[in-house]
Structure 1
Amino acid sequence: MNLEKVIFGFFIVLSLTLNFGFFLGEINNPDHHNVLELFIVIVVNFIATVLKLGDRSQIGAVLLSTSLVADLELIAAATYWTVAIHVTETGMTPDVMVTIISLSGGALLANVISVVILVSETLMSRL
């Protein structure tokens, strides 16, 4: 068993599951979505992105691009949350929460694609 691949897979799957945990709940209810959980999702996704930087294969490039998309979406969600609460003082309205969760959903889709590619690559290497 290759420890590097175990750690790589761990962070990719952890990023997906944490993002799913944040995404799950009523889309417009701020009580169902924790800002700390979003922060943890961003940190774990960044770690997964850094781990993908070393792979120079074509699949590695696709994995990196999906991770960068997820990073961008999560950063946009956190920025929007911060601006709505602290800059414009709009507060956490249902419309603000829907936008944040929609951006998180885009990151979730990118993470799903990443995990599907990882599993596909693993299955193809077994044949």
Structure 2
Amino acid sequence: MNLEKVIFGFFIVLAATLNFGFVLGEIDNPAHHDIYELSAALIVSLIATVLKLGDRTHMGAVLLATSLVADLQMIAAAVVWAIAEHAYNLGEAPRVIASVVSLAGGAALANLISVVMLLAETINLRR
């Protein structure tokens, strides 16, 4: 067993599951979406992105691209939430939560693509 591949797969799947957990629920209900879960998803996604930087294959490039998309959308979601909370005091407004969850939903789709590609690459490995 290759420990590097285990850690790589762990962070990809963890980023996807944390992001999915944040998105799950009514889109405009603040009780269903926790800022700490979004923060954890963003941090784990950034770690997964760093782990993808060393791969020089075509699959590695596409995995890196999907990870960068997920990072960008989660950073945008966090910025929207932070600006709404600190500048306008609207952090828990349904409209703000819906925007944040929509952006995180796009990141969840990018993470899902990463997981599917990881599974496809794993299935194609020949010994």
TM range (shorter): over 0.9
- Number of equivalent positions: 127
TM-score (norm 2): 0.97
Indicate the percent of aligned positions where both proteins have the same amino acid: 62
Matched, 1:36 2:31: no
Q: Deviations over 1:63-82 (max 9, x none)?
A: 00000000000000000000
Q: Deviations over 1:10-41 (max 9, x none)?
A: 00000000001101011100011000111000
Q: State the AA in 2 paired with 1:74.
A: M
Larger displacement relative to structure 2 (8-17 or 84-93): 84-93
Structure 1 unaligned spans of 5+:
none
What is the aligned-residue RMSD (CA, Å)?
Answer: 1.0
Matches of residues 1-127 of structure 1 in structure 2 within 5 Å? 1-126=1-126
Q: State the AA in 2 paired with 1:57.
A: T
Report the alpha carbon displacement of residue 116 of structure 1 after superposing the two structures with TM.
Answer: 0.4
Query: Structure 2 CA distance, aligned partners of 1:13 and 1:29?
Result: 26
TM-score (norm 1): 0.97
Query: Structure 2 CA distance, aligned partners of 1:113 and 1:90?
Result: 33
